[in-house]
Amino acid sequence: MKPFAFSELLAHMSLIRQPSAMACSLALPMGAALLSAAWLFLARAQETNEHGLAALLDGSGFVRIPAGEFMMGSRNGKPDEQPVHRVVISKGLEMGKFEVTQAQWEAVMRRAHARVAPGEAAEASAPSHFKGPSLPVENVSWHEVQQFLRMLNARDDRFEYRLPTEAEWEYACRAGSTGDYAGTLDAMAWYESNSGGQTRPVGRKEPNAWGLYDMHGNVWEWVQDWYAHDYGEERPAAGPASGSYKVYRGGGWFSSPADCRSAVRGFNFPIDRYDSVGFRLVRTPK
């Protein structure tokens, strides 16, 4: 587990208040150290609750995305973002508020590798380059995500968990917006100018209008669809039936502003792993 600096804890955990100058002057060194340790323990427990497996299974980690329609793509973007076309999302769905965290990945995948040697199991269930329970899981292939989904679905007989389609992802990212971003990029995204060269804990930036965090930046997010070089004149909402590459969306911690746009598309082989690519869940009733 990556050490969590107490200064970062104070800066980011809303339940912790900065002590007053008088309190600091009166505190004994030993008492301050014990208090700091207690705060750190509580903060880590809070992060585990918010971004752990329970938040998936009890539904608290999901938001409701309404049915509707939108214009998918960008007239001023890259060729594979065209033509702009109308897409109908005929049924509402629930989408993860956050990118899947390392705590969630490990909670599911350690069971998948329970019969593997301990060292190998730990490596398989903790694949991320940047370590931390509330950081997004990354360095996972599209196929490995499918294994995660199979394991997660086996634990819940009420809902089916899956990746969003490309159309569902862009619809949810836009949340009714029509521009390049769903808000102000610096307020919503970790990207090349502010990430410090690494992923950041999920949910620390502003959400979009539908309550989704980190749809721009932090890590690219695998989606269900195969990649096509353009949308075609009558692109179905489900995407092409086959292909060589899988799509990911949203930009990552190293991305330029242009590559964090709502319409931008990335793609690669489904067996490939990158420290800038993770994923987000959708769930629907079984």
CATH of the domain at 214: 3.90.1580.10
Query: Does the residue 44 lie in any domain?
Result: no
Provide the b/e sequence for 261-286 (b: ≥16 CB within 10 Å). Answer: bbbbbbbbebeebbbbbbbbbbbeee
The reported pLDDT for the residue numbered 229 is 87
pLDDT at 231: 85
Q: pTM of the entire structure?
A: 0.80
Q: Look at residues 213, 206, 220, 215 and name the one whose alpha carbon lies nearest to residue 145.
A: 220
- Count of beta carbons in the 10 Å neighbourhood of residue 144: 21
Tell me what pLDDT residue 48 has.
47
Mean pLDDT of 67-95: 95
Give the pLDDT band (50/70/90) at residue 13: very low
**5 falls within a domain:** no
Mean pLDDT of the 205-223 span: 99
What is the mean predicted confidence (pLDDT) over 5-11?
35
Domain around 69: 52-285
Q: Does residue 14 belong to any structural domain of this protein?
A: no
Q: What pLDDT does 118 receive?
A: 54
Distance from C-alpha of 65 to C-alpha of 279, rounded to nearest angstrom: 17
For residues 50 and 213, what is the distance between their CA atoms, to the nearest angstrom? 13
In a domain, 10, yes or no: no
Q: What are the tens digits of pLDDT across the range 105-141?
A: 999 998 766 554 555 554 567 899 999 999 999 999 9
Judged by average pLDDT, the poorest of 35-49, 155-169, 218-232, 264-278 is: 35-49
Least confident of 43-52, 70-79, 175-184, 224-233: 43-52
Please answer whether residues 190 and 217 qualify as being in contact, where contact means their C-beta atoms are separated by less than 8 angstroms. yes
Domain count, the chain: 1
Residue 11 lies in a domain: no
pLDDT of residue 40: 40
Task: Give the pLDDT mean for 93-98.
Answer: 98
Residue 6: inside a domain, yes or no?
no
Q: How far apart are CA 268 and CA 196, in angstroms?
A: 25
Q: Does residue 130 fall inside a structural domain?
A: yes
Task: Please give the residue that has the higher pLDDT: either 7 or 95.
Answer: 95
pLDDT tens-place string over residues 139-162: 999 999 999 999 999 999 999 999
